[in-house]
Amino acid sequence: MSHWTPDAIPEQGGRTALITGGNSGIGLVTARVLAARGARIILAGRSQANLDGAVQKVLDVTPTADVATLVVDLSDLASVGEAATRIAETETVDLLFNNAGIMNLPTRQTTRDGFEMTFGTNHLGHFAFDAQVWPAVLRSTAPRVVTVSAIAARWPMGRLEDLMSEKSYRGMGAYAKSKRANVVYTLELARRTAGTPLKALVVHPGAAMTNLQQHGDGALSRAFTPIAARLLMGSSEGAAWPSLYAATASDVQSGQFIGPAGRDQTSGTPKPAKLPKGADDPQQGARLWAESEQLTGVAFKP
């Protein structure tokens, strides 16, 4: 594959992109780029004030952009259901980005519904949102669902056991578990929608300084983060490339894992990446899907 950049993105007029976590970081970059190509954008996030600020940042680049907002808290299933129902009843969603996430909470916290916060937000919240927004996705003639995972999906601590981290809790362990779930979920979605126009893709952005890095485990983490920002991490702009490529490139296939091709896969042009070991096991996919339906109380029949 030749070197890909967002300059290769075709015009997106007539397509609507819904982006969770669209008010900052990778989500905001994704919104700005797609709006510049003519897409209608729906920015989803927890704070209307933050969303309004993000809308202005999109308009600063593309004054004629069509940008709407959707307040949703992925850690609250009632909020998820209300927001998703609004979209399901009124919209056609061509590009659905499961982009929002939290990382490395220093102590175990729970969502309003009693789930471990990281897994509950990063996976279960998106699972319930996708399930209930699905009628809007089905109205599209060529829909794509792009879920943002991470390199952490490959870590051994990310095994899909003790999903609520009740036996033991480590911030990055819970994060790795949620990011592996993102991959397993996407591959199962690809299997369940095989033979349809929908493409389900999962991406990892490499490494970039975004709002995810706001949590750390003490003084060592706080001291290391600025160094990592300079030496290891790319920009939010570059980190959004895998998402943009997955959403718009003509040569991607449903079920692919897309990441940057550079050294250690921290940056560079996007390309298909190696899956976490065992993530493509259909039995694991079916099990996670069933557990997600049971935990959230939301049936998902794509």
Say yes or no to pLDDT of 192 above 60: yes
Minimum mean pLDDT range among 73-82, 140-149, 208-217: 208-217
Provide the Cα torsion 125, 92, 250, 190; round to 10°.
40
The reported pLDDT for the residue numbered 223 is: 32
Largest CA distance in the chain: 52
Say yes or no to pLDDT of 2 above 90: no
Question: What pTM was estimated for this model as a whole?
Answer: 0.91
The reported pLDDT for the residue numbered 262 is: 66
User: pLDDT tens, 41-70?
Assistant: 999 999 999 999 999 999 999 999 999 999
The reported pLDDT for the residue numbered 231 is: 30
Domain 7-295 has CATH 3.40.50.720: yes
Measured distance CA(170)–CA(174) in Å, rounded: 6
Task: Please give the mean pLDDT across all residues of the chain.
Answer: 90
Query: What value does the CA radius of gyration of the chain take, rounded to a whole number of Å?
Result: 18
Let me know how long the chain is.
302
Measured distance CA(96)–CA(162) in Å, rounded: 29
Helices (H), the chain: 25-36, 48-61, 77-90, 117-119, 126-138, 171-192, 219-231, 236-239, 241-248, 282-296
Q: How confident is the model at residue 266 (pLDDT cuts 50, 70, 90)?
A: low
Do 194 and 8 touch, CB atoms closer than 8 A?
Answer: no
User: pLDDT tens, 20-44?
Assistant: 999 999 999 999 999 999 999 999 9
User: pLDDT tens, 87-114?
Assistant: 999 999 999 999 999 999 999 999 999 9
The reported pLDDT for the residue numbered 173 is: 96
Q: Catalytic residues, which ones?
A: 175
Do 143 and 92 touch, CB atoms closer than 8 A?
Answer: no
User: pLDDT tens, 80-89?
Assistant: 999 999 999 9
Q: Where are the domains of the chain?
A: 7-295
